[in-house]
Structure 1
Amino acid sequence: MLAAASLGVSAGAGAWVQSHWSERDAVSGQDAGAHASQQARSDAMQDNVNRLAEKVGDLQAKLIEMDGVSKRVAKAAGIAYTDPELADSMPAQDADLASSLAGTDLGWSADRLGEQLDHLAKQMSEQQDWFTMLDSVLTERTGNEARLPNYRPIDYDEVASSFGWRRHPVTGRHALHEGLDFPAPKGTPIYAASGGVVSEARYVPGYGKLVEINHGNGMSTRYAHASSIVAKLGDVVEKGQLIARVGSTGQSTGSHLHFEVRMAGHALDPNLFLPAREYMDNQIAQLEPGK
């Protein structure tokens, strides 16, 4: 009986030990699986963070490149960063951020990357505003230059009467000659000194057959004593476009073009705007077909 009891105890103990170790093995297996799963998620998250960090660096590099491009464009256009139009709209560049991203730590946290992305978004917005302002300034300056009456209205250099006080050849009175007189054969083409809208295209006492062009911002030009008028009232004409032909209508003693430049109704000396002959030759060449 003692032997049988001993055998029973031994068998029970063995069963308990086996059951205990089996449970421990099962628990150990579950822990190992959970750890492996957690490690995999951590590795995937770190991989995403690493890729985000690289993108942050790429975005900052593009911002720096954009800033360089905008500066080169401004310089080529003759626009200084100190010009009043641009001084208040310049985006500030973050040198510290650029240097920190140059050695990006791939172990950055998602929170840190989020902060950097927000910062980059702000800089991108400022850079976009800067390019918009630069485009606006370039457009305005180009428009202002295009309005200047600097295209010679006739292909003749001789000036019979300059701007200034003189004795009028018809009335004999001492009066201000408000333009330039270019002697030329009847029928010689007359060109628009600048683009604009034709505000007069009719016979006017004294001026004879007259074309007046409004160039905007208070500036206008007049072309008088024409033999015939090509442009019509309300026409939109371009710089260098044919608008009339030389004649001797109105108060005139011979075939010529009387050319005036006016600002807010006041006569200005056209010589302030008209270019030299070399420049005129280049303008004509650019307007020729195929040039």
Structure 2
Amino acid sequence: MGASALAGAWVQSQRSPQPALSADQEKIFSEQMSRDSAYVRQNMNLLASKVGELKARLIAMDGLSKRVAEVAGVSYTDPEVQASLEQAAMPAVMDDITAEPGASWSAEGLGRELDTMAQQLVEQKDWFAMLDLVLTKRTGVEASLPTYMPVNYPYLSSSFGWRRNPVTGRHSMHEGLDFAAPKGTPIHAASGGVVTQARYAPGYGKLVEISHGNGLVTRYAHASSIAVKVGDLVEKGQFIARVGSTGRSTGSHLHFEVRMAGHPLDPTLFLARQQDPEQLVADASEATGTVAPQVR
């Protein structure tokens, strides 16, 4: 009987309600919760404000990269970059971040914004890497163009195009420029590349041919002597031969050609870019008129 009474008393004590907090304790607890909540809200708002600022900077970077690409002309010549430019031109949508003071944001909203910004940073990195690659490639291509005057005698005795051949008397296509210069005048490479020919060729006489990559080559004909050999790497402006009158020629001069994939191009399209107006090949030919002998 005694054991049963003790067990019943214990069960009753477990079922009885726990003592409630006093009014002072509830007040202290409530004040602490309010302070903690205000602290969390304050930090959330501060974090959201920083996220908004970073978001705005990302949008500004998008616009800046687009303007840089447009100035560089990338958007007009590189379709794969144009697609990125069009995407960069679209302003980012900011669903949860606003600049209004006193606004509150959720942790979930901030998390989504941070994820979006992380993705945008990855895209920005890829975009700038692509832009750098394109500009680097373009710089390399421009550096390989034959813009260096091959001889220090800009006077043209014969220009590019159809003319009466001084040897045969027939009209034929003159596939280069003829620079009248004394025998022995140094000839320089118009651009860097690899020597693919350094030999005597029918018509051309002593000939040097340099490949500049991407199917672009230059030829220097009628030389009196050659200073390079096949396989040599030459730099822009490097001495490669001396002016002469070998091959089919009527006088001492340099016959200079520029070819792309085997097709002749007018060398003045390249040489004129780096010359002062008074030194342009076209100006030199006009100034001298037709007093000079016609040579190949």
TM range (shorter): 0.7 to 0.9
Question: Does 2:61 match 1:62?
Answer: no
| SS of residue in 1 equivalent to 2:115 | helix
Deviates more, 1:114-123 or 1:80-89: 80-89
Q: Structure 2 matches for 1:96-245, cutoff 5 A?
A: 96-97=93-94, 101-103=98-100, 105-166=102-163, 168-170=165-167, 175-245=172-242
- Please say which structure displays the higher CA radius of gyration: 1
In 1: Cα distance, 2:95 partner to 2:223 partner: 66
The answer to whether structure 1 residue 254 and structure 2 residue 262 are counterparts is: no
AA aligned opposite 2:260: M
**SS where residue 273 of structure 1 aligns?**
helix
Q: Does the CA-based 8 Å contact 1:57-1:104 persist in structure 2?
A: no
- Give the 3-state SS of the residue equivalent to 1:88 in structure 2: helix
Partners in 1 of 2:179 and 2:77 — Cα distance?
A: 43
What CA distance in whole angstroms lies between the structure 2 residues aligned with 1:175 and 1:30?
109
Structure 1 position 118, deviation (Å): 1.8
Name which of 275, 278, 284 aligns with 2:276.
Answer: 278
Q: What is residue 289 of structure 2 aligned with on the other side?
A: none
The whole-number CA distance in structure 1 between the counterparts of 2:239 and 2:231 is 15
2:49–2:99: 8 Å Cα contact kept in structure 1? no
Distance 1:69 1:146, change over 3 A: same
Distance, in Å, in 1 between the alignment partners of 2:33 and 2:27 is 10
Say whether the 8 Å CA contact 1:163–1:180 is kept in structure 2. Answer: yes
Identity of aligned residues (%): 61
Distance 1:281 1:165 in 2: 24
Equivalent residue letter for 1:74: A
**Cα deviation, residue 30, structure 1:** 5.2
Counterpart position of 1:263: 260
Offset, 1:280? 8.5
Moved more, 86-95 or 177-186: 86-95
Shift of 1:184: 0.4
For residue 40 of structure 2, the aligned residue among 45, 53, 56 is 45
Return the offset for 1:161. Answer: 2.4
Matched residues in 2 for 1:244 and 1:156: separation? 15
Change (3 A) 1:191 1:32: same
- Secondary structure in 2 matching 1:151: coil
Aligned equivalents of 2:76, 2:163: Cα separation in 1? 47
Give the direction of change, closer, same or farther, for the CA distance of 1:231–1:281 in structure 2 (3 Å limit).
Answer: farther
In the alignment, the residues of structure 2 paired with residue 41 and residue 233 of structure 1 have an alpha-carbon distance, to the nearest angstrom, of: 81
Structure 2 residue matching 1:135: 3-state secondary structure: helix
Deviation at 1:147, TM superposition (A): 3.3
C-alpha distance in structure 1 between counterparts of 2:242 and 2:96, whole Å: 67
Structure 2 residue matching 1:121: 3-state secondary structure: helix
Matched position secondary structure for 1:49: helix
Cα distance change, pair 115–183 in 1 and its aligned pair in 2 (3 A): same
Give, in whole Å, the separation in 1 of the partners of 2:90 and 2:224: 62
Letter in 2 for 1:89: S
The alignment's C-alpha RMSD in Å is 3.3
Aligned mates of 2:96, 2:24 — CA distance in 1: 47
Structure 2 residue runs of 5 or longer lacking an equivalent are: 1-18, 281-296
